[in-house]
Copies of this chain bind each other. A is one copy, B any other.
């Protein structure tokens, strides 16, 4: 059940049976020569919708632009400053909490978001405590990236081995090839497996990873691999969501 495709009386009814909601959050950033700029947003959104379908959970509006400061040397990347992203998450969560939602599972598509999302959760807790004291709602916010499960990890390893890398991975590119089959791109990848390593700001990133990939060979991506990864991610997250909303 997608919030944007529901009416307000439908949401009112939903709240009679559940206080949980799934919040997709991704990023709009370069994903190498053949990965879509929307890869992280599309993965998070599609998988969150899948979890919603599997569990009956409501799925809120996607945060499609995240914290991608380090990708800014590549045209097309859009980023929120961490301080802005904190406010966006604060506004989404407190608006929904105002209606009675209490458990927020953020389904994340971008590793670079995690720190800021966690900072945001504590910003929310602190602000509500300041404003409402003992009357503050008992919110529970959690973030899980779609690839954070044994089954997805195992599948990535099986399908791509060391070519998985850590940015513009064949796994995420595959998922988007599966969900957006009309937008599969071809591009030369040289070297096939990109260099790896740590990085600092955007210029440093581009110097180390000139085509944007880190440690990956997304030329191995296939829509059929994407389907398997998608299904595994949805299954794993559906189970985690159920636990999360029923946890004492």
Residues of A within 8 A of B (CB): 2-12, 15, 28, 30-38, 41-42, 60-62, 64-65, 67, 69-70, 72, 74-84, 86-88, 90-92, 94-96, 98-100, 112, 114-123, 125-133, 136, 138-141, 180, 183, 185, 187, 200-204, 212
Contacts and interface: CB of A to CB of B under 8 A. Distances in A.
A122 B111 CA distance: 13
B87 A87 contact: yes
A81 to B, nearest CB: 5
Contacts of A115: 114-119, 122
Enumerate the 4 nearest inter-chain pairs by beta-carbon distance, A residue then B residue, closest first: A4-B38, A11-B76, A115-B118, A82-B119
B88 A86 contact: no
Nearest to A137: B201
Contacts of A10: 76, 185
A80 B91 contact: yes
Main secondary structure of the interface of A (DSSP, over half): helix
5 contacts: A7-B185, A9-B33, A65-B92, A69-B129, A125-B202
Contact of A8 (B4, B76, B122, B141): B76
Contacts of A126: 69, 72, 79, 81-82
A131 B129 contact: no
Contacts of A204: 138, 140
Given A79-B126, A82-B122, A3 B100 contact: no
B6 A37 contact: yes
Given A67-B122, A69-B129, 18 more contacts: A4-B38, A5-B36, A5-B183, A8-B32, A8-B33, A61-B78, A69-B126, A70-B125, A77-B99, A80-B91, A81-B127, A82-B119, A83-B86, A112-B122, A121-B200, A131-B131, A132-B133, A139-B201
